Structure 1
Amino acid sequence: MSATLNARFPDALPGSRVPDSRDAPPLRWGIAGPGWIAERFAASLQQHTRQIVAAVGSRSQERSRDFAGRFSIPAAYGSYEELAAAPDVDIVYVATPHNHHHAVARLALEAGKHVLIEKPIGINARQAEDIAALAEARGLLAAEALWTFFLPKYDVVRQLLDAGALGQLVTVLAEYGEHFEPGHRIFDPKLAGGPLLDLGTYPLAFISSVLGLPETVHAVGTPHPAGVNGQISAVMDFAGGVHAVISTNLYGFTPTTATIVGTEATLTLDGPFNAPGGFTVRTADGRELRYEEPPGDHVAGLHFQAAAVARAIAAGGLEVAERPLAESIKTMRLADELRGQLGISFPDGQHAAATASHSD
C-alpha cells in the first residue's frame, strides 16, 4: 500500500476488486500442522472455494488421522516429510507453531511443492529471506498467509492510498491486545511465545505496508512471569517526519483498531482491523465515506488468501500481489528491530540484531 499526493478526495469509495473465491482454479492442498488455525483454514476452503484439501500431516499419525476424519480429508501422514513428498499434493499450507515454519516450508519447497506459510513467515528476517531465495531457485510460489491483506476491504484501502485520497500521510496507529488462558502456547518461550509474532505481526505488517521501514524505532517492553515478553509499545519515525505507533499485549483485549491519518482525511478501520469488517474515511470539513463489510471470523475470511494463491499459480506467478515476499521480509525486519531493542529471545539461536532502523 502506498500514497500518491495531490489527488482529490473521492465522492464515493471504489469497489473491491477481489473476485469470488469459488472462481479460483482448484489446487490440491496439504496441511502441515493440524491445529486451531488449520481447522479454520480447512473449514473456510471447504465452505467458500473449490480448493481440494487432499492431505494433512503432522509429527503424530493419530492427530493427522483425527483431523482428516473430521474434515473428510483422504490422506493423513505421520510426518512433515511424508506430506512434502506426497504425490497428491500441489501446495503445502504450513500451520505449525511459529518456530517450525521455516523448516517445514523448506521441506515442502525442496520436494517441489508451493507453500503458503501461516504468519509470521518465519521468526526472523533471515528465515524469511531464506524461504524467498529457495522458492525463487526452485521456481515455486511462496507466500505468507497473513489473511488480513487478502480481504476485500483491504483492496479498497489500497485503492484509496494509491489515489492519494488521504493527502500526505502523517501518522499510522495500530494495536492488538488479547487475553489468553494459562497453558496457551503463547506463554511458551520454546515456541517463540509472547505477543510479538502472534498478535504484533498484524499491526507491524499494517504499518510497514503503508509506510515502509522506519528511520528510528523507540520500543519499550514488559516481561511476563512465564518467561516471555508480555507487552510491547513502540513509536517510529519515518522519512518526512511521518510517525507510527504500535502496541500489543497478551494480558487483555483491546479495541484492535488501526488508523491512517493524512492531511486531507483520516481512515479508521473498525476493530478488529485484521478481520473482515468496515472502515470510515472522514475529512476535516465533515465529509464522510463508509465502507461496509460483514464482520466475520477466520472461516469467513481465510479462503481469500487460498484463492489468491491458486490464481497466482495458475498464472505462473511465484508470489501474490496482496502480500509480496518483500513485504513479509520487511515486517520481519521490523520485528527483529523490536526484538533487538528489548532483548527478546526466540528459539532461533540468536538475539535478533537491530536491522530495520538506525535507532539509538
Structure 2
Amino acid sequence: MTDDRALPASRVSDSRDAPALRWGIMGPGWIADRFTESVQAHSTQVIAAVGSRSMERSAAFADRHGIAEAFGSYEELAAADVDVIYVATPHNFHCQGALLALDAGKHVLIEKPIGINRGQAELIARRAAEAGLFAAEAMWTFFLPKFDVIRQVLEAGMLGEITTVLAEYGEHFDPEHRIFDPGLAGGPLLDLGTYPLSLITSILGAPQRVLALGQPHDSGVNGQLSAVMSFADGRQAMMNTQLHNFTPTSATIVGTEATLTIDGPFNMPGGFTVRYPDGDRLLYEEPAGAHFEGLHFEAAAVARAIANGDSEATQRPLSESIRTIAVADAIRNQLGIVFPGEGKAPAAPTGTSQPADSRRTS
C-alpha cells in the first residue's frame, strides 16, 4: 500500500452528545418501533408522545416503549408539547402528516420517501421554508458513520472520476405486508428502491436519460423494476429492486483510480472496501448491524441541526430528496405505475428525459 492512501476517520460523534429534544411519533408502525428502540437505547432524545388514528394502537405503542402521552389522532399529536415530529405513516400519507405537523409549528423528520412524487416533496420543502421550520427525509443510511467516511472519500477524489454506480435491493415479505397493497403505494420502489436511487442520485446527480423495465405482481403492485441511467460526461448507473426474495443488496462506486464496494446490505451499518488496480485495498471496518444500531444517528443529527437553527440536514438536503423522488417519477412514468390520489402516472421531470426507444413493461 502506498503511503498516501488512507481512509479518513468518521466525523460522526456519539449520539448521546446531541441536545435532547422532545419527539412525537406519528404512526406507530414497524419502522416507528425500530426508531424508538434505537433512539431510546443510544441517545438522550425524549420520545414524549405518539399519535395514531387508533387510540388502541397508540396506547399499546406508548405502553411498549414507556412513552408518557398517547393520542388517538394525528391532529392531537401535532398540538402536543413536542419539538419535532417523526412522520412514520404509510407512504401516501407522508405529505399530509408532514404538512399537519408544520402547520402546527413543529419541525419534521419524514420517513422515506419524503413523498410519493416530486410535487409532494417540493410542497413539503416550500411549506417548511415558509414556516421557518426544519424538515428532512429520514434516509437513515446517509447519517451512518460509514457514509460520512464515504462522503469524504468522494469529496477528496480518492476514486478519481466517478464513471459508474451499481446498486440493488431485494427482500422477502410476508403476503400480508403492506408492500403488496396498491392502496398504500405498494411495490418495491418506495420501500426498497429508494435506497439505490438515493445513492445513485446523491453521487451522480440527476440523470439525463432513464430506461426502465418492470414486472407486475399478482397483488396488483409492481413486483420488480430495473433502470439504466446516463448522466453528464458519459457516466452511467444501474439499479434493480424487487419484492420476491432477498438479494445481497450490494452497491459499487467505480472511479478511474479506484473502486469502492460497500458490504451488503449497503444501506445498513457495516464496512466497505476501496480497491486499487495495483492490488492495494483500504478496508473500513464497522460492526454490521440493522435499524437498532443505526436509526439513532439520524435523530441525533436532526437534534443538532434544530438546536443550531438549521432548516435542513446536511447529510440529506431536501434538494437531494426531491431529486431522488423525481427520478422515481420518471421510472414510474415509463412503467405506468400510479399511486393513490395521483390520477395518472407523473410526467417526466426536467433532467430525466425519456428517449423514443425506451421500453415499457408493466
The reply to whether TM is greater than 0.5 is: yes
Indicate conservation of the 8 Å contact 1:217/1:357, yes or no: yes
Measured in 2, the distance between the counterparts of 1:297 and 1:163 equals 28
- From 17, 29, 36, give the equivalent of 1:35: 29
Other-structure match for 2:359 = none
Unaligned runs of 5+ in 2: 356-362
Distance across 1 between alignment mates of 2:70 and 2:276: 54
What's 1:359 paired with?
354
- What's the counterpart of residue 255 of structure 2? 262
Residue equivalent to 1:5: none
Following superposition, the deviation at residue 12 of structure 1 comes to: 1.1
2:312 aligned with 1:325: no
Q: Distance in 2 between matches of 1:332 and 1:151?
A: 21
Tell me the amino acid that sits aligned with residue 357 of structure 1.
T
What are structure 1's unaligned runs of at least 5 residues? 1-7
Q: Deviations over 1:50-70 (max 9, x none)?
A: 000000000000100000001
Query: In 1, Cα distance between the equivalents of 2:27 and 2:314?
Result: 26
In the TM superposition, what are the counterparts of 1:146-161 in structure 2 within 5 Å? 146-161=139-154
1:14 paired residue among 8, 17, 34 = 8
Q: How many residues matched?
A: 352
Compute the displacement of 1:10 (Å): 4.4
User: Are positions 1:229 and 2:222 aligned together?
Assistant: yes
- Cα distance in 2 between the residues matched to 1:114 and 1:339: 30
Map residues 21-170 of structure 1 onto 2, 5 A cutoff.
21-86=15-80, 88-170=81-163
TM-score (norm 2): 0.96
The answer as to whether partners of 1:9 and 1:165 remain within 8 angstroms in 2 is no
Q: State the alpha-carbon separation in 2 of the partners of residues 195 and 111 from structure 1.
A: 32
Name the structure 2 match of 1:349.
342
Contact 1:10–1:165 (8 Å) recurs in 2: no
1:337 aligns with 2:337: no
State the SS of the aligned residue for 1:319: coil
1:308 corresponding residue in structure 2: 301
Q: What is the SS of the residue equivalent to 1:201?
A: helix
Partners in 1 of 2:3 and 2:303 — Cα distance?
A: 35
2: CA distance between counterparts of 1:267 and 1:322? 19
Structure 2 residue aligned with 1:248: 241
Q: Which runs of 4+ in 1 moved over 3 A?
A: none
Letter of the aligned partner of 1:69 in structure 2?
A: D
Q: Deviations over 1:282-334 (max 9, x none)?
A: 01111110000111110110000000000000100001100000000000001
Equivalent position amino acid for 1:39 in 2: D
**Counterpart pick for 1:184 among 177, 180, 186:** 177
CA distance, structure 2, for counterparts of residue 72 and residue 137 of structure 1: 35
Q: State the 1:348 CA deviation.
A: 2.9
Structure 1 residue 199 corresponds to structure 2 residue 192: yes
Q: TM-score, normalised by structure 1?
A: 0.97
- Tell me if the contact between 1:60 and 1:78 (Cα under 8 Å) persists in the aligned partners: yes
Matched AA of 1:249: Q
For 1:305 and 1:173, locate their aligned partners in 2 and report how far apart those are by CA, in whole Å.
Answer: 25
Give the Cα–Cα distance (whole angstroms) in 2 for the partners of residues 57 and 315 of structure 1.
27
In structure 1, C-alpha distance between the alignment counterparts of 2:245 and 2:293, rounded to whole Å: 24
> For 1:147-172, what per-residue CA distance to the aligned partner results, in whole angstroms no more than 9, with x for missing partners?
00000000000001001000011110
